Structure 1
Amino acid sequence: MVLHHLWRTDCSQYTINNRNIRAIEIAGGIPVMLPYLKGKEDINDLMNKLDGLYLTGGYDIDPTLFDEEPIPGLGTIIPERDRSEIAFVEKMIETNKPILGVCRGSQLLNIAVGGTMYQDIYSQLDTSNLLQHQQKAPFDHRSHFVNIKEDSLLYQLTGKEKVKVNSYHHQTNHRVPKDFQICATASDGIVEAFESTNHRFVLGLQWHPEGLIDYKDDPSLSIYQGFIKACID
């Protein structure tokens, strides 16, 4: 079994945080890191050889991809990464292969299927009602709660209506397109997870479950195991 896994910090090198590698390995998968690709034929050939797509966190997303222009709160973007990952998602959706996206990966997934997002929640929304979504604490600290919709894939994976998660983001999903549903929200209404209602496993999470898999009482491992199982089936 082979999984796609991609991360890049700048224009000179590819790298990946070991937490993401461990999460896939512990769940029983084999992570493979891929470069950015431009050719449609190369992308299609590569995606055909993979069992699933895992989209990690990282920098911000180019707002012109969802018909907006950049606002002052937008951070660093890597257009090459955006274009490649959108093409990867489109091919995996077309072939109904499993996709799991975390943080930036969740937002990129939503944009790729036609959704919209906030470029910067702290300048676009009423801050008096917002939680701290860029926690100032260790990566494995669970800083706020997430409410999960019962009739959802995420609920099936976790078996919980409410979980406590870590949080490192200033962008988030806004609207999701037809054939997808918001399946988890924070108490301030921020979208914390969404999923497909028409594919066997397409799930985006706003938090970072790869940082919580070592806690026996946390459902993060079950999420990764469900993803790997979907890749095998």
Structure 2
Amino acid sequence: MYCPAHFQEDRPAELHRLIAQFSLATIVRQDADGLTADHVPLLFQATPDGAGKLLGHVARHNTLWQLSPDQELLVVFQGPSTYISPNWYATKHDAGKVVPTWNYAVVHAHCTLHAIHDPEQVRQLVTQLTGQHEATQPHPWRVADAPADYTDKLLANIVGIELRVHRMQGKWKVSQNQPKQNQQSVVQGLLSEGADAQAQMASLVQARSGL
């Protein structure tokens, strides 16, 4: 993706944090019908080589898992994003030379896919995914809470996928190209909206601009 140096985010911890928080990935591939995109929640897992892998599952009827193991896929994780009004720029009063924009944070992972068919491995994978997403619940649901014959039937209809990461790129477009007074006023404008997405973006602007 196009990414000026001042928007580049290379720190692995930041990339992994966004993936954990916004885990619904868009997996883009080229097949016989052209470009195809699937939307799959994925779990990042560290590997000894430092590159990591992404784990998830798809329906057995989804041809994604049938890809050649050397075909590269683009996996996109979309983090906080929001419209930025020119009214929020402190410098608006200086000749009005401001325009709207859109702030966002995104991670692109370039991967190859390996299918997982072993029933016990698929069960463990589903258990891991469930554990991550249920962690904030007062009484987390577990795979074992459902009848075994019921989950066995469902597990037979899915295939696990392991996406081996070859490289990652992060882009945090969060007002770094604005003067300090505009960064401060953008944070105020975002917080005045009172919505979660704007509050998340305000935190990113503050973190990247040192406010």
TM-score range, shorter chain: under 0.3
Q: Bigger relative contact order, structure 1 or 2, given CA contacts below 8 A and separation 6+?
A: 2
Structure 1 or 2: more helix by fraction: 2
The structure whose Rg is larger is 2
**TM-score, reference length from structure 2:** 0.22
**TM-score, reference length from structure 1:** 0.21
Structure 1 or 2: more strand by fraction: 2
